[in-house]
Amino acid sequence: MRLFVQAVILGLLAGGVYALMASGLTLAFGIMRVINVAQGVMIILGAYVSYTLFTHFGVDPFLSVLFVVPVVFVLGVVIELVFIRPLRPSEREELSLLVTWAVALGIEGVLGLVYSTTYRSTIPSYANAAWRIGGFAVLQVQVYAFGLSVVILAVLGVVLAKTRFGRAVRGTVQNPASAALLGVDERKVAAIGFGLSVATAAAAGAVYGVVTPFNPGSHYDLISLLLTIIVLGGMGSLPGTVVAAVLMGVSQALLATYISPTSAKLTFFILLIGILVVRPQGLFGAVERGKL
């Protein structure tokens, strides 16, 4: 029972961070039908920027989010304008895979040149600290990261639900043609939406570097994890992504505890295939274009 509770605690905390990482991916798909396979490298980019700020200027990785997010937001808008906008809408879903993959490889190459392939780690004073609560280890950095995820996802949720921009986004997701007729500038929504989606990834990256050693190639492991999460949650569904991310975190921890880390992955994919057979649209995905 102790092992079970410990695994659930660790899994929940990890799942919270997965949710932040994957939320942008589902946002980009919901708004633009773009499958952004560069989402993983954006996380790693965020990790490197945060690492640099910490090692050279002593900026706390969580504080560095305030710098990382706007910088990567601008980068995201530029990527949307230069690489994604020219794609024909009818082929966007497929071509976006190729284009964003090229972006990912390009950014990986630049990071490799600047930082080399050596693994890096951001180590603030609390990096390895844990609270002992009822005999269970609760890792401080994961709690902070979980908290950051909750705050950013809550802000994202409020922006989408309450603001004019959020209404434009939801309108575009539900029916781009009607939204355009009502005066929504779809191009502007797409650029800002894509910028936001990669900025959330970079925010997650700032804390990823504290939890896990990383190098420019680490994004390959991340993107497969994130794609799994958004497929499970239902592509384009933000609540679905959050639920799927937490499910992923907890199931990984439980399977690693009770079966083995190597078969955990296989077991998880068998479950995923089973769910997709019953619900091809994922846990929360709409069968038609619908709610974000």
Binding site for another protein (CB under 8 A): 2-3, 6-7, 10-11, 14, 35, 37, 93-94, 97-98, 101, 105, 112, 116-119, 121, 123, 127-130, 132, 137, 139, 142, 175, 211-215, 217-218, 220-222, 224-225, 227, 231, 235-236, 249, 252-253, 256-257, 260-262, 265, 276, 280-282, 285-289
Reference 224, options 35, 37, 33; nearest CA is 37
Residues 6+ apart with CB under 8 A from 177: none
Integer Cα distance of 281 and 212 in angstroms: 32
**Among 77, 95, 90, CA closest to 35:** 95
Closest approach, Cβ 278 to another protein, in A, equals 13
Tokens representing residue 278 in the block:
């019953």
Closest approach of another protein to the CB of residue 168, in Å: 18
The residue (of 77 and 234) whose beta carbon lies closer to another protein is 234
Query: Minimal distance in Å, beta carbon 153 to another protein?
Result: 19
Query: Using CA atoms, how far apart are residues 97 and 103, in angstroms rounded to an integer?
Result: 10
What gap in Å lies between CA 64 and CA 52, rounded to an integer? 10
Query: In terms of CB distance, is 150 or 275 closer to another protein?
Result: 275
Cβ nearer to another protein, comparing 77 with 243: 243
Least CB distance to another protein at residue 162 (A): 26
The residues, any chain, with a CB within 8 Å of residue 144's CB and separated by 6 or more, are 62, 126, 207
Question: Please, what is the minimum distance in Å from the beta carbon of residue 231 to another protein?
Answer: 5
Distance in angstroms (rounded) separating the CA atoms of residues 12 and 149: 12
Query: Which SS3 state, helix, strand or coil, does residue 138 take?
Result: strand
How does DSSP classify residue 290?
-
Closer Cβ to another protein, 149 or 252, answer by number? 252
Spell out the residues 6+ positions from residue 164 whose beta carbon is closer than 8 angstroms to its own.
Answer: none
Q: Which tokens in the block code for residue 262?
A: 């190597």
Residue 246's nearest CA partner among 284, 289, 214, 196 is 284
Cα–Cα distance for residue pair 67/72, rounded to 1 Å: 9
In whole angstroms, the minimum distance from the beta carbon of 11 to another protein comes to 6
Q: Which is nearer to another protein, 37 or 75 (CB)?
A: 37
Which residue's CB is nearer to another protein, number 94 or number 185? 94
- CB nearer another protein, residue 60 or residue 81: 60
Q: How far apart are CA 44 and CA 218, in angstroms?
A: 7
Q: How far is the CB of 9 from another protein (least distance, A)?
A: 9
CB of 215 to another protein, least distance (A): 7
| 52 vs 257 by CB, closer to another protein | 257
